[in-house]
Amino acid sequence: MFKTLTTLIAGSVAALAIATASAAAAEKITVLTWNIPVYGEKIAGWITDFKALHPDIDVEWIDKKGTEWATFYQTQLAAGTPPDVVNIQGALWAEYAANGQLLDLAPYLAADADFSGRFVPGALDMWKMGDGAATYMVPWYFNRTLLYLNKKMLAEAGIAKAPATFDELMDAAEKMKGEGKSGFLTTNFDWLFWPLFKMNGVDILNADMSAAAFNTPEAVATLTRLAEATKSGAINNISWTGRWVEPNTAFAAGNVGMYMAPNSALFWAASKGEWINADNVEVVQDPQLWWTPNHHGWGVSASTKHADAAVDLVKIATSDKWQEVMSNTFSLLTLNKNVDPKLIEKFRKENPLKATTLELAGSELDKITGYLKSPLEARVKDAFWTSVQPALLGEADPKKALDAAEAKVNRILSRR
């Protein structure tokens, strides 16, 4: 009995060791995506295409919700096992790039004209750093702020044309406010409110990103006006407290006159409010054309053992074939020059509001603001927002809030 048991245990241990060894021997790359679990079937398609190129390398796909993404990725970085291919939102990549954790894709782009030539002009600039030679990411999908007008509320308030300046925007908001109604609403995460300051000539940092540039009389006036409008109800206070669901739901309810948010926010709201269509909503550029992105790109970890294969997977993910699937699945821009025009054309008949929105979203790409390509972006953002948010909600004096924010930001920029 004892002998049988010993043989059984020894056999199991040996089998486990062989299985572990063979599993460890298989080459593998890992792909991390940002909150896109419903896309699994399509990603399986990429993997099939990838396996045709690299039959000896397996691909593991991991998806994390936005709130869990940074925790997961940073833990993997700390452990020295970052995913080979990473999908990163907004300007977070800048920190990883500055810390040497992302591969410079410029040589791969230079070596492959099809790869570098598939993106719309200026798209890659969003992920360039330093002297512009290094390109750390390539675009996957792209959203940016636009202004959505509730035509009925504008007409009721006697407003004939879309506001073209900050003052016109605030005046229109005041005219539309009322019991249960507010004139203006914005999203606030990732600097999405920043066009409001930029319209008044305010920048976040100076040109070389060495000091805060936002504490100006214009910024004080802007902040004061925003706080007063929030207090009066002209601006919905969800603008400063909500993140995604709250402002979108508020706009979908039909009681907000103007909504400044990424194009994906409008489509999300439209799925909750049937009234949101071309008859009832007009889409325009933010006043003075300034916009803030909420985009996603692909990068490759500098520590990957399979850099060429990882880049091949990025090429597959950003190819015309798969970006067409992506754009049709989620109604969004990909910054792929062959794919986006087709999507807009398709929507011209099917959904004119979407067509106009996407067309506007893909234009004026040089008027970007609120996008800091700095390794300290997250800390600057946090220091600014935690000081200024109370002022927007009437809990702090605007000048003192900006003074406090400036002191914090300058300390972050000047010390380690």
Partner 1 sequence: MASIFAKKRHRELAFIWSLLAPALLIYLFYRVVPLLWNVALSFSFWSPGKPMEFAGLYHYEEMAFYDDAFWTVLANTAVFMLATPVAIALALALALLVDQNIRGRSIYRTIIFLPYPMMVVAVGIVWRWLYNDSVGLVNYALRSLGLIERPIAFLESYDFAMMSVMVAAIWQIVGFFTIIILTGLQNIPAHLYEAARIDGARAHHRFWRITLPLLRPSIFLCVILGVIASFTSFDLIYTMTGGGPGLATELLITYIYKTSFSLSRFDYAAAVTVVMFLLFLALATIANRLAGGDAGKVDIAD
Q: Judged by CB under 8 A, does residue 48 bind partner 1?
A: no
The tokens describing 62, both together, are 């991991």
- Residue 164 CB, shortest distance to partner 1, in Å, is 31
Q: Which two tokens stand for residue 66?
A: 């936005």
Sign of CA dihedral 260, 265, 269, 275: positive
Q: Please state the closest distance from residue 192 (CB atom) to partner 1, in A.
A: 16
Q: Give the list of residues 6+ apart from residue 203 with CB closer than 8 angstroms, or none.
A: 213, 214
Q: Which residues pair with 258 in a beta bridge?
A: 149, 184
Site string for partner 1, 289-308 (x = CB under 8 A): --------------x-----
User: Which residue among 7, 232, 241, 328 contacts partner 1 (CB under 8 A)?
Assistant: 241
Per CB under 8 A, the segment of 19-27, 71-79, 118-126, 313-321 that binds partner 1 is 71-79
In angstroms, the CA 151 to CA 159 distance is 9
Which residue from 161, 348, 400, 411 is in contact with partner 1, where contact means CB under 8 A?
Answer: 411
Reference 115, options 133, 100, 135; nearest CA is 135
Stretch that binds partner 1, among 212-220, 279-287, 317-325, 378-386 (CB under 8 A): 378-386
| Residue 160 binds partner 1 (CB under 8 A) | no
Element (H, E) at 177: none
Closest CA to 282 of 248, 259, 252: 259
Check residue 416 for interaction with partner 1 (CB under 8 A): yes
Binding segment (CB under 8 A) for partner 1, from list 147-155, 209-217, 320-328, 376-384: 376-384
- Asked if residue 105 lies in contact with residue 137, where contact means CB atoms within 8 angstroms, the answer is yes
Q: Among residues 85 and 404, whose Cβ is nearest to partner 1?
A: 404
Judged by CB under 8 A, does residue 338 bind partner 1? no
Q: Is 80 in the site for partner 1 (CB under 8 A)?
A: yes
* Structure tokens given for 170: 């605030």
Residue 121 main-chain phi, psi, to 5 deg = -55, 135
Question: 170 to 189, contacts with partner 1 by CB under 8 A?
Answer: none
- Part in contact with partner 1 (CB under 8 A); list of ranges 70-78, 154-162, 263-271, 337-345: 70-78
What is the CA angle 338-344-347, rounded to 5? 140
**Taking the complex as a whole, how short is the minimal distance between the CB of residue 302 and partner 1, in angstroms?**
9
Classified as helix, coil or strand, 247 is: helix
Residues 6+ apart with CB under 8 A from 95: 375, 376, 377, 378
Backbone phi, then psi, for 301, in 5-degree steps? -65, 135
378 lies in the binding site for partner 1 (CB under 8 A): yes
Which amino acid belongs to residue 16?
Answer: L
Using CB under 8 A, pick the residue from 7, 48, 74, 165 that binds partner 1.
74
Stretch that binds partner 1, among 52-60, 77-85, 272-280, 348-356 (CB under 8 A): 77-85
Q: Which of 37, 100, 107, 117 binds partner 1 (CB under 8 A)?
A: 100
Q: Where on the chain is the footprint of partner 1 (CB under 8 A)?
A: 70-71, 74, 77-78, 80, 95, 99-101, 237-238, 240-242, 303, 378-379, 382, 386, 389-390, 393, 395, 404, 411, 416
